[in-house]
Structure 1
Amino acid sequence: MRVVMFGYQTWGHRTLQALLDSGHGVALVVTHPRSEHAYERIWSDSVAGLADKHGVPVLLRNRPDDAELLRAVREAEPDIIVANNWRTWLPPEIFDLPRHGTLNIHDSLLPAYAGFSPLIWALINGEKEVGVTAHRMNAELDMGDILLQRRVPVGPADTATDLFHRTVDLIGPLVADSLDLVSSGRAVWTPQDTARSSFFHKRSPEDSRIDWTWPADALERFVRAQSDPYPNAFTHHRGRRLRIVSARVSRGRYGGTPGRIFIREGDGVVVVAGAEARSGRLPGLVVRRVRTEDGLELAAPEYFRTMGGYLTGRP
């Protein structure tokens, strides 16, 4: 089959490599220009660079809404379009153009976690497994019929970084298997159960702000979901932003006001957590390592020399 690919960052890079290895012909690649967005500076393997290396024509676009791009896609005469991490909506003049339509690769187990940053949101929410889905693109974002899925378990200490590496390794085999099914006429497309669907927005700095009324187990996942090189979960101490690099749920139960810097426990410092913390029946969050705004990383007992005071959402 002749393939046109739309994609960006490492997800798109892995997809293009799988297409190049598949034996199918890659006629055109469309990718975004490099971005300074915090979540787009990481996992930023260049799709354009890989295409150039293999002599595949490349177009750079922020949005796929110009006549030149549509003409180039038509002239490539694709049998199928494959997309992964294309950051804007594709119009039907493009996604319905090939005879096999457009195969989108999405890094969640659809219908749950459609949209953006699914691994981070899934880890925050305590999901037991994550994965990657190949589905047919339609006019509703990430809602088309499913062809294949691959999944991996989420361990109790996994970070978003761990889950990225585990799921990005699924992309190559998923793309290869999907193209084999489509080209051989053996593809079976399963409609998504819309009653189970959920859609998540792009992340911004506000989404990393710690809310100390959350229970400690949710906060511990919140910290793991924003592991390096992602922007870390943050709070404020004495008017200055403080990033929480590592944390765990306390062994003891601690009562009081959420956000109170309370007591040392083991290798960290307990911060009171949970909307019902006044009951004294809830664990706190043991902050283990922090990072200041100037980039200095410290063990929490080194940073919090004395107990007392509060961590707050705002300065």
Structure 2
Amino acid sequence: MRVVMFGYQTWGHRTLQALLDSEHEVVLVVTHPVSDHVYEKIWSDSVAELAEKHGVPVLLRERPDDAELIEAIRDTRPDIIVANNWRTWLPPEIFDLPPHGTLNVHDSLLPAYAGFSPIIWALINGEERVGVTAHRMDPELDAGEILLQRSVAVGPADTATDLFHRTVDLIGPIVTESLDLIASGEARWQPQDRSRASFFHKRSIEDSRIDWTWSAEELERLIRAQSDPYPNAFTHHRGQRIRIVSAAVSEACYGGTPGRVFIREGDGVVIVAGADARSGKLRGLVVRRLRTEDGTEYAATDYFRTMGGYLTARP
């Protein structure tokens, strides 16, 4: 089949590589210009550079809403469009243009976690599995019929970085298998159960700010979800921002006011956590390692020389 590809960053790069390695012909690539957004500078393998290396024409667009782009796609006479990590909505003039429509590849187990940063949100929420879905694009974002899904288990110590690497490795096989099924006429599309749908916004620095009224379990997942190279979860101590690099849920229960720098436990320092921490029935968050704004990393037991005082959301 003749394929037009829309994509960006490493997700799009893996998709394009799979297409180039397949028996199908990539006739045009559309990608975004390089961005300064903090999350878009992570996993930023260039789709444009890969396409140019293989002699595939490339168009750069922030949004796919101009007549010139639509005409360029039409001129290539595509059988299908394949999209992965395209950051804006595609209009029906584009996604319905080829005979086989548009196959979108999304890094969640749809219908849950449509939208942005699904792996990070899923880890924060304690999901047991994450994965990749290949589905038909329709007018509603990430809502079209599903062709294939593949998943991996989330382990108790997994970070977002771990899960990124495991899920991005699913992209090539799912793209290849999906196109082969479509080309052979053997594709079987399944409607999404929209009662199970959820949609998440793009993450920003504000979403990494620690709220000490969250439970220790939730905060420990947040810290794993904001692992390097993502912007780390952060809080403030004596007016200075500190980033929490490694943490665990305490073995004992600790009572008091959320955010209190309380006591050493094991190889870390316990911070009181949870809206109902005053009950004394909740676990605390054991901070093990942290990083100051100048980039210096400390063991928490070295940084917190004395107990007492509070970690706060703002200076």
Gaps of 5+ in 2: none
Show the counterpart of 2:145: 145
Show the counterpart of 1:24: 24
Show the counterpart of 2:294: 294
The separation in 2 between residues aligned to 1:154 and 1:277, in whole angstroms, is: 28
The separation in 2 between residues aligned to 1:264 and 1:37, in whole angstroms, is: 38
1:100-158 Cα offsets, whole Å, 9 max, x none, are: 00000000000000000000000000000000000000110000000000000000000
Secondary structure of the structure 1 residue equivalent to 2:100: coil
Q: Stretches of 4+ moved more than 2 A in 1?
A: none
Shift of 1:281: 1.0
The separation in 1 between residues aligned to 2:299 and 2:217, in whole angstroms, is: 20
Show the counterpart of 1:161: 161
TM-score (norm 1): 0.99
Given the alignment of the two structures, is residue 70 of structure 1 paired with residue 75 of structure 2, yes or no?
no
Matched to 2:203, the amino acid is R
TM-score (norm 2): 0.99
Equivalent runs, 1:172-211 vs 2, <5 Å? 172-211=172-211
Gaps of 5+ in 1: none
The separation in 2 between residues aligned to 1:203 and 1:131, in whole angstroms, is: 19
Show the counterpart of 2:270: 270
Matched to 2:13, the amino acid is H
Equivalent runs, 1:223-234 vs 2, <5 Å? 223-234=223-234
Shift of 1:252: 1.0
Matched to 1:63, the amino acid is R
Secondary structure of the structure 2 residue equivalent to 1:249: strand
Show the counterpart of 2:282: 282
Question: Matched residue pairs, number?
Answer: 315
1:246-296 Cα offsets, whole Å, 9 max, x none, are: 000001111000000000111110000011110111110000000111111
Show the counterpart of 2:103: 103
Matched to 2:116, the amino acid is F
The separation in 2 between residues aligned to 1:74 and 1:239, in whole angstroms, is: 57
The separation in 2 between residues aligned to 1:192 and 1:3, in whole angstroms, is: 25
The separation in 2 between residues aligned to 1:195 and 1:242, in whole angstroms, is: 40
The separation in 2 between residues aligned to 1:299 and 1:66, in whole angstroms, is: 53
The separation in 2 between residues aligned to 1:158 and 1:78, in whole angstroms, is: 40
Given the alignment of the two structures, is residue 313 of structure 1 paired with residue 313 of structure 2, yes or no?
yes
- Let me know the Cα RMSD of the aligned residues: 0.5
Secondary structure of the structure 1 residue equivalent to 2:70: helix
